[in-house]
Chain A
Amino acid sequence: MNKLNLSIAGTHKDLKEKKYSVTELVKYYLARIAKYDKNLNSFLTVTTDYALKAARKQDNLLVSQGEGVFEDFPLFGVVTAFKDLYLTEGIRTTAASRVLENFIPQYSSTVVKKLENAGCILIGKTNCDAWAHGASGENSDFGPIKNPWNKDFVPGGSSSGSAVSVASDFCLVALGTDTGGSVRQPASFCGVTGLKPTYGLVSRFGVVAMASSLDCMGHLTNNVGDSRRVLEVTKGQDQFDSNIQSVKLAGEVRDIKKITIGLPKDYFGQGLDNQVRTKVLAAARFFEKQGAKIVDVDLPHTKYATSVYYIIQPAEVASNLGRYDGIRYGLSRDSFGDEAKRRIMLGSYVLSSGYYDRYYLKAARVRTKLIEDFDKAFAKVDVLLAPVSPTPPFKLGEKTADPLSMYLADVYTVSANLVGVPGLALPAGFSDQGLPIGFQLISQKFHENMLFDLGEIFQRNTDYHSQKPKL
């Protein structure tokens, strides 16, 4: 096989036409990983034998059952990588931290099970910022991940390896987690499509917990159509996660001329790089030409969102990482890296006696104000269009000594997590240096169809998402 079909539908078409077998497909991806990933470091574990075994089983199934398999298994033959926060039974899961470097889970997370039952083939576990703490991929205890478009630059984070592996054609789909932008921002930095679903739509069970009121299980794909197909499988009730709601997704776009898109003024102010501004506004103009109405909206508490997030999130991190006592699993707490230590201590501080009211409670109140901002905006508009990151990808090492500047780069993504609404990051073009720039669409809760429908219209008329880095 020489040319890959970069979508689930395309892969199914090729498999039906017997252009290649599932085993050949898996071998193709494995060969690419072996050849190119040494310099990118996107995988922590490659499950060669496990994937080949699953592939042989599927090839046999295709022979015995014919094309019915594509109905029984909607993600048949979809080669999938998982951020190394998703527990995989019998396969090492590290959260990219030394603490878990020898941890072999005794069970798989709900999302892994659902996807494998739908036909996904697990090809490996991807590198990330340890415990999902970071926005650059530099906080991994197993070495930084590199941007495939230019290895001197960061791929974004924390789902860095997942974004890199999709961009580099090491897999067709990769799962990530988004607590404050960790799917959308690396998607934007690597030129792929990244979904953060509504909080409470996809089960968190069996995924290493970061901040439980914010954690969303999202995914990275080559295009919007694939993103929609994956969510169709991952979403829905789970007896192990009581926050999950079985809701029929809403927001279909029947006529784009009836859609009003809001540009949050507060997302286009000081601090936004001009190249990013230009690409994001070009995306808005595209929708305007299609007939959508574009209006300005106010999200006046945006400037406080980062502070709210960096109080609530570390508070929940301190609690979730409290369980790592080195007794039941994992190494002792000495093995935590610097960023985990910073967040645990920050969280302990804002929750500690004498500071709880001033920090944690205050942040929880401002979180309410952020929710009110979004409610008011969605009373006026159907969807928001905004930048993902204030800058294009930055150079490795540029921000590592200054945690605050790294935190402030999350300004456009954290609100969706605090409010609980979904966001879809889409490629919008390239910087002067040839690095990807993305934009995001944000809708009301459970209106993912709005994001998908608009995203598909955009990708039908642009080719940013089909461009690939030269490795």
Chain B
Amino acid sequence: MAKLTKSDVLHVAKLSKLDLTSPEVEKFQSQLSEVLNYMDELNTLDTDRVLPTSQSTGLENVFRGDDHTNDCLARDIATTNASRSDSSYFVTKGVLKK
């Protein structure tokens, strides 16, 4: 049985800000279900008393000296890769509807 329903795939696509075509939904539904089914093997392990690891360095609270650091990118340079810019501002789509 497929682990993910079509609406699961559409929900995850929405969370991911991806627009999928209907053949894509079908393809990803079966491929992602297969991968997730495989991962269920982890649930055979008892890990209730194991602490999770999110990174392997063991470092905590790394600070740097409050000394002079390099200059930032100038505004006119920072916007050179923007699809739309206006006098060194990034132009985005409107958020609020009129």
Contact = CB atoms under 8 A, between A and B. Distances in A.
Interface of A: 102-104, 106-107, 199-200, 213, 239, 242-243, 245, 301, 303-304, 307-308, 310-311, 318, 322, 325-331, 333-334, 336, 338, 341-342, 344-349, 352, 358-359, 361-369, 371, 403-404, 407, 418-420
Nearest to A107: B73
Interface string B48-65: 001111111101001010
Interface of B: 4, 8-9, 11-13, 15-20, 24, 27-28, 31-32, 34-36, 38-39, 41-43, 45, 47, 50-57, 59, 62, 64, 69, 73, 77-83, 90-92
Given A106-B77, A327-B92, A349-B32, A367 B18 contact: no
B52 A367 contact: yes
Contacts of A367: 52-53
Nearest to A369: B50
B57 to A, nearest CB: 5
Contacts of B79: 328
A418 B36 CA distance: 19
Given A341-B16, A349-B36, 5 more contacts: A213-B54, A327-B82, A346-B36, A368-B50, A403-B31
B47 to A, nearest CB: 4
Nearest to A212: B55
Contacts of A239: 64, 69
Contact of B56 (A199, A348, A369): A199
Contacts of B19: 333-334
**SS class, residues of chain B in contact with chain A:** loop
A369 B52 contact: no
Contact of B47 (A242, A326, A365, A403): A365
A274 B46 CA distance: 33
From B41, B47, B64, B90, residue with most partner A Cβ within 10 Å = B47
A106 B50 CA distance: 44
From B4, B31, B43, B90, residue with most partner A Cβ within 10 Å = B31
A330 B81 contact: yes
A344 B28 CA distance: 12
Nearest to A364: B52
Contacts of A242: 59, 62, 64
A243 B55 CA distance: 10
Given A106-B78, A243-B59, A369-B47, A336 B18 contact: yes
Contacts of B50: 365-366, 368-369
Contact of A304 (B18, B41, B62, B73): B41
Contact of B52 (A199, A307, A365): A365
A431 to B, nearest CB: 28
Given A103-B81, A352-B15, A368-B50, A307 B39 contact: yes
B19 to A, nearest CB: 7
Contact of B42 (A200, A363, A371): A363
Contacts of A318: 16
A416 B10 CA distance: 34
Contacts of A333: 17-19
A71 B55 CA distance: 37
Contacts of B92: 327
A111 B8 CA distance: 41
Contacts of A371: 53, 56
A357 to B, nearest CB: 10
Nearest to A445: B56
B45 A307 contact: no
17 contacts: A103-B81, A104-B81, A213-B56, A242-B59, A243-B57, A245-B59, A304-B45, A307-B42, A327-B82, A330-B81, A348-B16, A349-B12, A365-B52, A367-B52, A369-B50, A403-B35, A404-B31
Contact of A329 (B59, B62, B82): B82
B13 A404 contact: no
A242 B78 CA distance: 23
Contacts of B35: 310, 346, 403-404, 407
A367 to B, nearest CB: 4
A80 B8 CA distance: 46
